Amino acid sequence: MNKFLDVNPEVAAAIAQGKPVVALESTIISHGMPYPQNVETALNVEKIIRDNGAVPATIAVIGGRLKAGLTPEEIEYFGKKGQDIAKASRRDLAVLCARGEDGATTVTTTMIIAHMAGIKIFATGGIGGVHRGAETTMDISADLEELSQTPVMVVCAGAKSILDLGLTLEYLETKGVPVVGYGTEELPAFYTQKSGFKVDYRMDSPAQLAAAFKTQNELGFKGGMLVANPIPDEYAMPFEVITKAIETAIAESKAKGIHGKETTPFLLAKVAELTGGNSLASNIQLVYNNAKLAAQTAVEYFK
Protein backbone atom coordinates (compact mmCIF):
# COMPACT_ATOMS: atom_id res chain seq x y z
CA MET A 1 0.00 0.00 0.00
CA ASN A 2 1.33 3.45 -0.93
CA LYS A 3 2.45 5.33 2.19
CA PHE A 4 0.55 8.46 1.11
CA LEU A 5 -2.74 6.58 0.60
CA ASP A 6 -5.63 6.29 3.08
CA VAL A 7 -8.36 3.84 2.11
CA ASN A 8 -11.70 4.27 3.87
CA PRO A 9 -12.32 1.15 6.07
CA GLU A 10 -15.57 0.25 4.26
CA VAL A 11 -13.84 0.56 0.88
CA ALA A 12 -10.80 -1.41 2.08
CA ALA A 13 -13.01 -4.24 3.37
CA ALA A 14 -14.93 -4.40 0.07
CA ILE A 15 -11.70 -4.55 -1.97
CA ALA A 16 -10.22 -7.24 0.31
CA GLN A 17 -13.39 -9.34 -0.02
CA GLY A 18 -13.58 -8.97 -3.81
CA LYS A 19 -16.76 -6.89 -3.68
CA PRO A 20 -17.65 -4.23 -6.26
CA VAL A 21 -16.39 -0.69 -5.62
CA VAL A 22 -16.89 2.39 -7.81
CA ALA A 23 -14.55 5.40 -7.66
CA LEU A 24 -15.86 8.97 -7.90
CA GLU A 25 -13.97 12.21 -8.50
CA SER A 26 -14.01 15.26 -6.22
CA THR A 27 -13.55 18.09 -8.74
CA ILE A 28 -17.27 17.85 -9.46
CA ILE A 29 -17.87 18.69 -5.78
CA SER A 30 -15.45 21.60 -5.44
CA HIS A 31 -15.59 23.05 -8.96
CA GLY A 32 -18.65 21.53 -10.63
CA MET A 33 -21.54 23.33 -8.96
CA PRO A 34 -22.38 25.68 -6.07
CA TYR A 35 -22.83 24.73 -2.40
CA PRO A 36 -24.99 23.07 -1.09
CA GLN A 37 -26.09 21.55 -4.42
CA ASN A 38 -22.61 20.05 -4.85
CA VAL A 39 -22.76 18.15 -1.54
CA GLU A 40 -26.33 16.98 -2.16
CA THR A 41 -25.35 15.70 -5.62
CA ALA A 42 -22.23 13.92 -4.31
CA LEU A 43 -24.21 12.14 -1.59
CA ASN A 44 -26.95 11.21 -4.08
CA VAL A 45 -24.35 9.70 -6.42
CA GLU A 46 -22.99 7.58 -3.56
CA LYS A 47 -26.55 6.44 -2.73
CA ILE A 48 -27.19 5.43 -6.36
CA ILE A 49 -24.04 3.30 -6.32
CA ARG A 50 -25.13 1.59 -3.09
CA ASP A 51 -28.65 1.04 -4.44
CA ASN A 52 -27.11 -0.78 -7.41
CA GLY A 53 -25.01 -3.14 -5.33
CA ALA A 54 -21.58 -1.50 -5.09
CA VAL A 55 -19.58 0.51 -2.56
CA PRO A 56 -18.83 4.16 -3.47
CA ALA A 57 -15.31 5.57 -3.04
CA THR A 58 -15.19 9.33 -3.56
CA ILE A 59 -11.54 10.25 -4.09
CA ALA A 60 -9.67 13.40 -3.06
CA VAL A 61 -6.48 14.79 -1.53
CA ILE A 62 -6.93 16.11 2.03
CA GLY A 63 -4.04 17.47 4.07
CA GLY A 64 -1.54 15.84 1.72
CA ARG A 65 -3.15 12.41 2.05
CA LEU A 66 -4.56 10.56 -0.97
CA LYS A 67 -8.06 9.52 0.08
CA ALA A 68 -9.92 6.58 -1.47
CA GLY A 69 -13.37 6.93 0.07
CA LEU A 70 -14.57 10.11 1.80
CA THR A 71 -16.83 10.39 4.83
CA PRO A 72 -19.98 12.57 4.56
CA GLU A 73 -18.14 15.14 6.72
CA GLU A 74 -15.22 15.23 4.28
CA ILE A 75 -17.63 15.66 1.35
CA GLU A 76 -19.27 18.56 3.23
CA TYR A 77 -15.82 20.10 3.81
CA PHE A 78 -15.02 19.88 0.09
CA GLY A 79 -18.39 21.33 -0.86
CA LYS A 80 -18.05 24.33 1.45
CA LYS A 81 -14.44 25.07 0.50
CA GLY A 82 -15.35 24.84 -3.17
CA GLN A 83 -13.03 26.52 -5.63
CA ASP A 84 -10.55 27.42 -2.87
CA ILE A 85 -9.39 23.81 -3.29
CA ALA A 86 -6.88 23.37 -6.12
CA LYS A 87 -7.71 21.07 -9.01
CA ALA A 88 -5.12 18.31 -8.90
CA SER A 89 -3.78 16.68 -12.04
CA ARG A 90 -0.92 14.15 -12.21
CA ARG A 91 1.72 16.88 -12.10
CA ASP A 92 0.27 18.27 -8.83
CA LEU A 93 -0.01 15.18 -6.62
CA ALA A 94 3.57 15.04 -5.36
CA VAL A 95 3.64 18.75 -4.47
CA LEU A 96 0.26 18.57 -2.68
CA CYS A 97 1.39 15.55 -0.67
CA ALA A 98 4.73 17.17 0.20
CA ARG A 99 3.04 20.40 1.32
CA GLY A 100 0.18 18.71 3.17
CA GLU A 101 -2.43 20.50 1.06
CA ASP A 102 -5.88 19.65 -0.31
CA GLY A 103 -6.61 18.77 -3.92
CA ALA A 104 -9.76 18.05 -5.91
CA THR A 105 -9.14 15.05 -8.14
CA THR A 106 -9.78 15.21 -11.86
CA VAL A 107 -10.41 12.18 -14.07
CA THR A 108 -6.63 11.70 -14.25
CA THR A 109 -5.89 11.75 -10.53
CA THR A 110 -9.02 9.80 -9.62
CA MET A 111 -7.80 7.03 -11.94
CA ILE A 112 -4.33 7.12 -10.36
CA ILE A 113 -5.59 6.90 -6.77
CA ALA A 114 -8.29 4.33 -7.64
CA HIS A 115 -5.62 2.11 -9.20
CA MET A 116 -3.37 2.50 -6.14
CA ALA A 117 -6.27 1.35 -3.96
CA GLY A 118 -7.24 -1.56 -6.25
CA ILE A 119 -10.48 -0.04 -7.59
CA LYS A 120 -11.26 -1.08 -11.18
CA ILE A 121 -14.23 1.09 -12.19
CA PHE A 122 -14.80 4.85 -12.02
CA ALA A 123 -17.89 6.95 -12.79
CA THR A 124 -17.65 10.60 -13.79
CA GLY A 125 -19.48 13.21 -15.86
CA GLY A 126 -17.36 13.68 -18.96
CA ILE A 127 -13.67 13.33 -19.74
CA GLY A 128 -11.30 15.99 -20.98
CA GLY A 129 -9.85 15.69 -24.45
CA VAL A 130 -8.20 17.52 -27.31
CA HIS A 131 -9.20 21.18 -27.25
CA ARG A 132 -10.30 22.99 -30.38
CA GLY A 133 -7.23 24.57 -31.97
CA ALA A 134 -4.87 22.09 -30.28
CA GLU A 135 -2.89 21.79 -33.51
CA THR A 136 -1.40 25.18 -32.56
CA THR A 137 -1.89 25.35 -28.76
CA MET A 138 -1.07 21.67 -27.94
CA ASP A 139 -3.88 21.88 -25.34
CA ILE A 140 -4.65 18.21 -24.72
CA SER A 141 -6.14 16.92 -21.48
CA ALA A 142 -4.02 14.68 -19.26
CA ASP A 143 -7.11 12.44 -19.01
CA LEU A 144 -6.28 10.90 -22.39
CA GLU A 145 -2.73 10.03 -21.44
CA GLU A 146 -3.93 8.50 -18.16
CA LEU A 147 -6.44 6.34 -20.01
CA SER A 148 -3.54 4.98 -22.05
CA GLN A 149 -1.52 3.85 -19.04
CA THR A 150 -3.78 3.20 -16.02
CA PRO A 151 -6.05 0.11 -16.04
CA VAL A 152 -9.29 1.67 -14.81
CA MET A 153 -12.62 1.66 -16.67
CA VAL A 154 -14.03 5.18 -16.94
CA VAL A 155 -17.81 5.43 -17.34
CA CYS A 156 -18.77 8.88 -18.63
CA ALA A 157 -21.20 10.70 -20.91
CA GLY A 158 -18.52 11.04 -23.57
CA ALA A 159 -16.11 13.93 -23.96
CA LYS A 160 -17.29 17.43 -23.15
CA SER A 161 -18.80 18.98 -26.25
CA ILE A 162 -16.60 22.09 -25.89
CA LEU A 163 -13.73 19.91 -27.23
CA ASP A 164 -12.62 18.71 -30.65
CA LEU A 165 -14.30 15.32 -30.47
CA GLY A 166 -12.83 13.98 -33.72
CA LEU A 167 -9.26 14.66 -32.60
CA THR A 168 -10.03 13.28 -29.14
CA LEU A 169 -11.06 9.95 -30.69
CA GLU A 170 -7.98 9.95 -32.94
CA TYR A 171 -5.73 10.48 -29.91
CA LEU A 172 -7.38 7.64 -27.98
CA GLU A 173 -7.01 5.34 -31.00
CA THR A 174 -3.30 6.16 -31.22
CA LYS A 175 -2.91 5.35 -27.52
CA GLY A 176 -4.78 2.04 -27.87
CA VAL A 177 -7.72 2.97 -25.64
CA PRO A 178 -10.98 1.20 -26.57
CA VAL A 179 -13.96 3.57 -26.72
CA VAL A 180 -17.22 1.71 -26.10
CA GLY A 181 -20.67 3.19 -26.65
CA TYR A 182 -23.27 1.90 -24.21
CA GLY A 183 -26.35 1.26 -26.31
CA THR A 184 -25.01 3.52 -29.07
CA GLU A 185 -22.58 3.49 -31.99
CA GLU A 186 -22.03 7.25 -31.77
CA LEU A 187 -19.89 9.11 -29.25
CA PRO A 188 -22.22 11.07 -26.97
CA ALA A 189 -21.18 14.67 -26.39
CA PHE A 190 -21.94 15.21 -22.72
CA TYR A 191 -25.15 17.31 -22.82
CA THR A 192 -26.29 15.71 -26.06
CA GLN A 193 -26.54 12.13 -27.30
CA LYS A 194 -25.11 12.88 -30.72
CA SER A 195 -21.77 14.09 -32.03
CA GLY A 196 -21.44 12.68 -35.54
CA PHE A 197 -18.43 10.56 -34.51
CA LYS A 198 -18.43 6.77 -34.20
CA VAL A 199 -17.14 4.80 -31.23
CA ASP A 200 -15.01 1.65 -31.59
CA TYR A 201 -17.61 -0.78 -30.21
CA ARG A 202 -21.21 -0.84 -29.11
CA MET A 203 -22.20 -2.87 -26.04
CA ASP A 204 -25.68 -3.23 -24.60
CA SER A 205 -25.34 -4.64 -21.09
CA PRO A 206 -23.19 -4.21 -17.97
CA ALA A 207 -22.21 -7.88 -18.34
CA GLN A 208 -20.73 -7.21 -21.80
CA LEU A 209 -18.79 -4.21 -20.48
CA ALA A 210 -17.46 -6.19 -17.52
CA ALA A 211 -16.42 -9.15 -19.69
CA ALA A 212 -14.52 -6.93 -22.13
CA PHE A 213 -12.67 -5.06 -19.39
CA LYS A 214 -11.87 -8.20 -17.41
CA THR A 215 -10.42 -9.77 -20.55
CA GLN A 216 -8.35 -6.64 -21.24
CA ASN A 217 -6.93 -6.84 -17.70
CA GLU A 218 -6.24 -10.57 -17.97
CA LEU A 219 -4.35 -9.95 -21.21
CA GLY A 220 -2.04 -7.72 -19.19
CA PHE A 221 -2.72 -4.50 -21.09
CA LYS A 222 -1.72 -1.48 -19.05
CA GLY A 223 -4.36 1.00 -20.21
CA GLY A 224 -7.97 1.67 -19.33
CA MET A 225 -11.27 1.50 -21.17
CA LEU A 226 -13.62 4.39 -21.91
CA VAL A 227 -17.36 3.69 -21.71
CA ALA A 228 -19.49 6.45 -23.25
CA ASN A 229 -22.99 6.36 -21.75
CA PRO A 230 -25.42 8.82 -23.40
CA ILE A 231 -27.33 11.26 -21.23
CA PRO A 232 -30.96 10.04 -20.79
CA ASP A 233 -33.44 11.30 -23.41
CA GLU A 234 -35.46 13.43 -21.01
CA TYR A 235 -32.41 15.42 -19.88
CA ALA A 236 -30.58 15.71 -23.20
CA MET A 237 -30.25 19.17 -24.72
CA PRO A 238 -30.87 19.86 -28.42
CA PHE A 239 -27.65 19.57 -30.41
CA GLU A 240 -28.21 22.92 -32.15
CA VAL A 241 -28.81 24.80 -28.88
CA ILE A 242 -25.72 23.46 -27.14
CA THR A 243 -23.55 23.92 -30.24
CA LYS A 244 -24.53 27.59 -30.55
CA ALA A 245 -23.85 28.18 -26.83
CA ILE A 246 -20.44 26.51 -27.08
CA GLU A 247 -19.41 28.55 -30.12
CA THR A 248 -20.38 31.77 -28.31
CA ALA A 249 -18.49 30.71 -25.17
CA ILE A 250 -15.35 29.79 -27.15
CA ALA A 251 -15.36 33.14 -28.95
CA GLU A 252 -15.63 34.97 -25.61
CA SER A 253 -12.83 32.90 -24.03
CA LYS A 254 -10.52 33.76 -26.93
CA ALA A 255 -11.40 37.45 -26.68
CA LYS A 256 -10.57 37.41 -22.97
CA GLY A 257 -7.32 35.49 -23.46
CA ILE A 258 -8.39 32.56 -21.31
CA HIS A 259 -6.25 29.44 -21.80
CA GLY A 260 -4.83 26.34 -20.08
CA LYS A 261 -6.66 24.77 -17.16
CA GLU A 262 -8.88 27.87 -16.80
CA THR A 263 -10.49 27.16 -20.19
CA THR A 264 -12.83 24.30 -19.30
CA PRO A 265 -14.35 25.88 -16.13
CA PHE A 266 -14.91 29.14 -18.00
CA LEU A 267 -16.56 27.46 -20.99
CA LEU A 268 -18.80 25.22 -18.85
CA ALA A 269 -19.93 28.18 -16.72
CA LYS A 270 -20.60 30.28 -19.81
CA VAL A 271 -22.58 27.47 -21.47
CA ALA A 272 -24.65 27.10 -18.29
CA GLU A 273 -25.34 30.85 -18.35
CA LEU A 274 -26.26 30.86 -22.05
CA THR A 275 -28.64 27.90 -21.67
CA GLY A 276 -30.44 29.40 -18.68
CA GLY A 277 -28.96 26.91 -16.24
CA ASN A 278 -30.40 23.91 -18.08
CA SER A 279 -26.92 22.51 -18.66
CA LEU A 280 -26.32 22.22 -14.89
CA ALA A 281 -29.48 20.14 -14.44
CA SER A 282 -28.40 17.97 -17.37
CA ASN A 283 -24.92 17.62 -15.86
CA ILE A 284 -26.32 16.27 -12.59
CA GLN A 285 -28.60 13.76 -14.30
CA LEU A 286 -25.88 12.37 -16.56
CA VAL A 287 -23.61 11.83 -13.53
CA TYR A 288 -26.43 9.89 -11.82
CA ASN A 289 -26.89 7.82 -14.97
CA ASN A 290 -23.17 7.03 -15.17
CA ALA A 291 -23.00 6.07 -11.49
CA LYS A 292 -25.80 3.55 -11.97
CA LEU A 293 -24.13 1.94 -15.00
CA ALA A 294 -20.71 1.88 -13.30
CA ALA A 295 -22.16 0.15 -10.22
CA GLN A 296 -24.00 -2.44 -12.32
CA THR A 297 -20.82 -3.09 -14.33
CA ALA A 298 -18.73 -3.43 -11.16
CA VAL A 299 -21.21 -5.98 -9.82
CA GLU A 300 -20.84 -8.02 -13.03
CA TYR A 301 -17.04 -7.67 -12.99
CA PHE A 302 -16.76 -9.23 -9.52
CA LYS A 303 -19.32 -12.02 -10.04
193 near 230, Cβ under 8 Å? yes
Tell me the β-bridge partners of 93: none
117 near 5, Cβ under 8 Å? yes
Distances (CA, A) of 232 to 126, 193, 202, 243, 286: 14, 8, 17, 18, 7
The sign of the torsion formed by the CA atoms of 184, 189, 193, 194 equals: negative
Pairing state between β 104-105 and 87-88: parallel
- Cα distance between residue 168 and residue 187, in whole Å: 11
Half-sphere exposure of 259 (CA within 13 A, CB side): 10
Which three-class secondary structure state does DSSP give residue 172?
A: helix
- Cα distance between residue 217 and residue 224, in whole Å: 9
Q: Catalytic site residue 160?
A: yes
Tell me the β-bridge partners of 59: 68
Catalytic residue among 120, 160, 270, 292: 160
- Cα distance between residue 165 and residue 129, in whole Å: 7
Catalytic residue among 25, 46, 76, 300: 25
Half-sphere exposure of 66 (CA within 13 A, CB side): 24
127 near 28, Cβ under 8 Å? no
Pairing state between β 225-228 and 179-182: parallel
- Cα distance between residue 222 and residue 5, in whole Å: 21
Pairing state between β 121-123 and 179-182: unpaired
Task: List active site positions.
Answer: 25, 160
